[in-house]
Structure 1
Amino acid sequence: MLNHTIGRHLARAVAAVALLAGLAGAAGAVTVPILVADVDSGRVVYAQAPTDPWYPASITKLMTTYVALDLVRQGRASMDTLITISPAAAAEPPSKMGFKPGTQLTLGNALKIIMVKSANDVAFAIGESLGGSVDGFASMMNDAAHRIGMQDSRWYNPNGLPDPRQWTSARDMAVLARALIRDFPDNRDLFSISAIQFGGAVIPNHNGLLGRYPGTDGMKTGFICSGGFNVVATATRNGRRIIAIVMGQPSARERDVKTADLFDYGFAQDNGSGPSLDALPTSSVGAPPDMRAYVCGGKKAPPIDEGPGAVTASGASAAQLLGGAAANSPALALAAFSSPAMRARSLPPRAPLQPVAVWIGRDPAEGQQILAQQAAEAQAAAANVRNARLEAAKARREAALAKRQAAKEAAAQARAAKTTTKSAAGSALPHSASAYTSSDAPAMPEAKPGKGLTKAKPAAHKAATKAAPATKASAKPVAKAHAKKAAKADE
């Protein structure tokens, strides 16, 4: 246990370093887990809530990596073992590589990808491929955790996506970090890759300390709303390597800056005064707090499970801000976390990236062939979509044209029918005005000799008689002439 004097200082500093109160429904403040320990000796340099349960987020992938490397060590797998992306793995939410179901890649490449990109789909596929199922792999994770001395962890998935049953502690993550370094010395570089290159894309590591804090050589970051921004980090200075665990931070920048200050403090202390990791007392807290209200509030969760890290240079360190005393005083160094000046700080710009190539398939040549085939398939699919759209547009245009033509023809037929109807109506006289009689009408009666037309003569004859007055007038003189001749003959 830390000596009594330092313990009193740290107790007074807890209020400054602890996460602020104000969680929805919380009765009081929550103390975030923080731990600094020496890698070689396992001695604790500083600890705050080190065994309290906490949601791990993507630092879970360190446990996944330990199980995978252990299987390789046992000869049950190799770095060339092919990991297959199943439909379930492909459906995992970001952060992810977005590989299609059926895609295969080597275990070595898969581990590099989950350490740098923190790809949930790839971590899920590792669990399925090596454990037979995610549940089977989770059992292997729990067995390995118990075997290496982790006491507070419960594992249910290999990628750290939210599961209320899955939690760990700062102490357990320090135990895991030491085990990875101790048991797999040939794989230490896996945790310090600054970037990976896949095809033409360069993907930087989410760890904002790599290339910014001198001596940083690992390990893994993680974020979910319920757990905040977490990190398991290691750094080496003058041959001494220490671990810093920081959990529950409200942003990636604050997580990185506070971890850097803990490194400053840790390297200034000797490594033999603190308790061992396994001697830390068990927590009385029964379950992890849900940090969602504090970390994410009512906002939508970020689209990836990691923050961008600290990228703005400020040039100020904890020691500069506190007059050089921070590196030697845990109370001052940790109280500085809550000062406005410290919250505004960022680490220097990142050193140039040194990408490590990764690929799908068994080797780079096969990977290039697969990528070329996928690109060709994507182009063909895009061309098919374009052609289908063009054909659909053409069909719509033709249908619209046919519809308009049918409408025009229907209108023309309607006009022609209307014209025919009008013509027929104009050529037929009313029956009362007709000058013709029906073929079955009764014949006109003959006139009797010496008598004129009867009163009953047809209206047509009457009309004809009226219509020819000149004929009647010219007929009278002729009659008179005949009568005179007849009278002369009688004489």
Structure 2
Amino acid sequence: MSSSLYRRLTVGLAALTGLFGTSLVGLGAAQAVTVPILVADVDSGKVIYSQAPTDPWYPASITKLMTTYVALDLVRQGKVSLDSMITVSAAAAAEPPSKMGFKPGTQLTLDNALKIIMVKSANDIAFAIGENLGGSVDNFAAMMNETAVRIGMRDSHWYNPNGLPDPRQWTSARDMAVLARALLRDFPDSHDLFSISAIQFGRAVMANHNGLLGRYPGTDGMKTGFICSGGFNVVATATRNGRRIVTIVMGQPSPRERDVKAADLFDYAFTQSAGWTSPTLDALPASAIPAPPDMRPFVCGGKKPPAIEDGPGALSAPGSAAQLVGGAAANSPALALAAFSNPALRARSLPPRAPLQPVAVWVGRNPAESQQILDAQEAEQKAAVANTRAAKLEAAKVKRAAALEAAKQARAERLERAQAAQAAKPAPKVAAKPGHPLPRTASAYTAVETPTMPEAKPGRGLVKPAPKAAAHKAAAHKAAPAEAATAKAATAKAAAKKPAAKKAAAGE
């Protein structure tokens, strides 16, 4: 056995060991979820390997393959052309990322719109395609479902053209293989649409989210997708020695693990031949699972969100199943992580990507018109920035003027309050000058000071007024002996009169 063949068989067996290990984990732990995987020969439709191929699953952005088929089918029927103009409505512009962010009213050709949704996976542009080609998103979804039945898809239900979360919208690995074969078979002139490595819009270059392009030899399409409820999905095709294989991998916890697993499946498939005993896609039995499991707890819950390739935020399908199929046992994070891939796959990665070869896209009917539109938008944006800056400066000026006026009014009010408080104060009392105080007997009715009668004492005559303390001290001191003598004489005279009076009273 040659070393090359031995290496291929070893890689193939390693891939299958990881894949079958997924199923074995499920068998050993009370029906843990089995992620859908399918590998088939494009020309014959023979199945080379499958795992849960018809189980329902949330498609995410691989929905855009269905959108592209409907659009190309309308072109084939002559109802529209690749030069037909697609107008971005306000509703389309409001769709969550990933998106181009065009303003409502922006127009672009259907051809550029399809390139953008295949590479950038822009949800706003896919929504605009549905509105313009179907008249409404609901009508376009009806066209998607009708077309799916016509080309042999059995497990798919479509409600929007971009794959944003909707609990009613699901597909299966088998149906996506049927769709991939139909795209390659029915539109041979559009094969390059699925292998564009990057697009360039103006000065911006946007690489394809398909990590197999430029990294795995022979890869020539098609589309990736991610939402938390569905994990990381891919529909990929690769050609080697004239043989084309389609591989579908769904529900992976990261884009790297999805890409590595798809590469290993390609390695295995190219060493196998789909013989007459291999089942066809049409012969695969229907699934017994009634609805898709919700992978959000295992892909996005309880840890740092994984790297998002189809948008800046983790998205989930509102109202979808709350747990994995299999009940409480399947809700173990360790079990779910083991079910995704084995440690060998988690530690591997693909080689660096080959240099990008961007394809130009534009708005309007041609690049010249696009440049005019971009120039006008740039001028408008600069004017808006200038107007915003001028408005901010004017607002700051008005604010400063208002602050100054408020401060001026506050000072005036403080001054006014101070003056009012000063006016309300009572007049200060004048201190009495030291001098001659009013006598005790002075009354309010005495206008001027007049000499008073000396106070009479009981049994005695009138008494001299009290001498002034300050002015007549010396005189009073001199008069004291005289007054004492006079008082003594008067007392003696009175004593002499008493016997005479008593005698007179006795004679009477």
Q: TM-score range by the shorter chain?
A: 0.7 to 0.9
1:296 matched to 2:300? The reply is: yes
- The aligned counterpart of 1:197 is 200
Equivalent residue runs for 1:16-55 within 5 Å? 16-18=21-23, 28-55=31-58
- The aligned counterpart of 1:287 is 291
Per-residue CA deviations over 1:147-169 (Å, capped at 9, x if unaligned) read 11111111111011111111111
Match of 1:223 among 216, 223, 226: 226
- Alpha-carbon RMSD: 3.5
- The aligned counterpart of 2:319 is none
Match of 1:343 among 330, 342, 346: 346
Query: What is the one-letter code of the residue matched to 1:141?
Result: M
Equivalent residue runs for 1:259-408 within 5 Å? 259-273=262-276, 274-299=278-303, 304=308, 306=310, 338-408=341-411
1:253 matched to 2:253? The reply is: no
Contact 1:336–1:342 (CA under 8 A) maintained in structure 2: no
CA distance in 2, matches of 1:307, 1:387: 35
CA distance in 2, matches of 1:27, 1:114: 40
Query: What is the one-letter code of the residue matched to 1:125?
Result: A
Contact 1:82–1:106 (CA under 8 A) maintained in structure 2: yes
1:144 matched to 2:147? The reply is: yes
TM-score, structure 2 as length reference: 0.73
Contact 1:224–1:305 (CA under 8 A) maintained in structure 2: no
- The aligned counterpart of 1:85 is 88
Q: Gaps spanning 5+ residues in structure 1: where? A: 1-8, 309-334, 434-441, 446-451, 456-465, 470-491
Contact 2:97–2:311 (CA under 8 A) maintained in structure 1: no
Match of 1:110 among 109, 113, 120: 113
Between stretches 364-373 and 240-249, larger displacement belongs to 364-373
CA distance in 1, matches of 2:299, 2:139: 32
- The aligned counterpart of 2:210 is 207
1:180 matched to 2:183? The reply is: yes
1:71 matched to 2:71? The reply is: no
Per-residue CA deviations over 1:8-42 (Å, capped at 9, x if unaligned) read x99987541349669xxx96311111111111111
- The aligned counterpart of 1:159 is 162
C-alpha change, 1:353 and 1:369, in structure 2 (3 Å) is same
- The aligned counterpart of 2:318 is none
C-alpha change, 1:18 and 1:83, in structure 2 (3 Å) is farther
Q: What is the total number of aligned residue pairs between the two structures?
A: 412
Pairwise CA distance, 1:411: 3.0
Query: Percent same amino acid at aligned positions?
Result: 73
Match of 2:427 among 425, 428, 436: 425
1:119 matched to 2:147? The reply is: no
CA distance in 2, matches of 1:236, 1:285: 33
Match of 1:125, SS state, is helix
Per-residue CA deviations over 1:415-451 (Å, capped at 9, x if unaligned) read 45566677x9359899xx9xxxxxxxx9x99xxxxxx
1:96 matched to 2:76? The reply is: no
C-alpha change, 1:299 and 1:103, in structure 2 (3 Å) is farther
Q: Gaps spanning 5+ residues in structure 2: where? A: 1-13, 313-337, 436-444, 454-467, 472-508
Contact 1:51–1:282 (CA under 8 A) maintained in structure 2: yes
Pairwise CA distance, 1:361: 1.2
Contact 1:14–1:31 (CA under 8 A) maintained in structure 2: no
Per-residue CA deviations over 1:312-363 (Å, capped at 9, x if unaligned) read xxxxxxxxxxxxxxxxxxxxxxx99844233200000000000001111111
Contact 2:18–2:341 (CA under 8 A) maintained in structure 1: no
Contact 2:209–2:309 (CA under 8 A) maintained in structure 1: no
CA distance in 2, matches of 1:227, 1:161: 11
CA distance in 1, matches of 2:72, 2:229: 29
CA distance in 2, matches of 1:196, 1:38: 29
Pairwise CA distance, 1:366: 1.3
CA distance in 2, matches of 1:336, 1:348: 25
- The aligned counterpart of 2:236 is 233
CA distance in 1, matches of 2:406, 2:76: 74
Match of 2:216, SS state, is coil
Query: What is the one-letter code of the residue matched to 1:291?
Result: M
CA distance in 2, matches of 1:285, 1:51: 9
C-alpha change, 1:425 and 1:217, in structure 2 (3 Å) is same
Query: What is the one-letter code of the residue matched to 1:399?
Result: A
- The aligned counterpart of 2:135 is 132
CA distance in 1, matches of 2:185, 2:149: 16
- Structure with bigger gyration radius: 2
CA distance in 1, matches of 2:256, 2:240: 23
CA distance in 2, matches of 1:400, 1:303: 49
C-alpha change, 1:303 and 1:83, in structure 2 (3 Å) is farther
Pairwise CA distance, 1:307: 8.2
CA distance in 1, matches of 2:451, 2:55: 139
Contact 1:43–1:276 (CA under 8 A) maintained in structure 2: yes
Pairwise CA distance, 1:242: 0.7
TM-score, structure 1 as length reference: 0.76
Contact 1:19–1:248 (CA under 8 A) maintained in structure 2: no
Query: What is the one-letter code of the residue matched to 1:343?
Result: R
Per-residue CA deviations over 1:173-229 (Å, capped at 9, x if unaligned) read 111001100111111000000000011110000000000000100000011111111
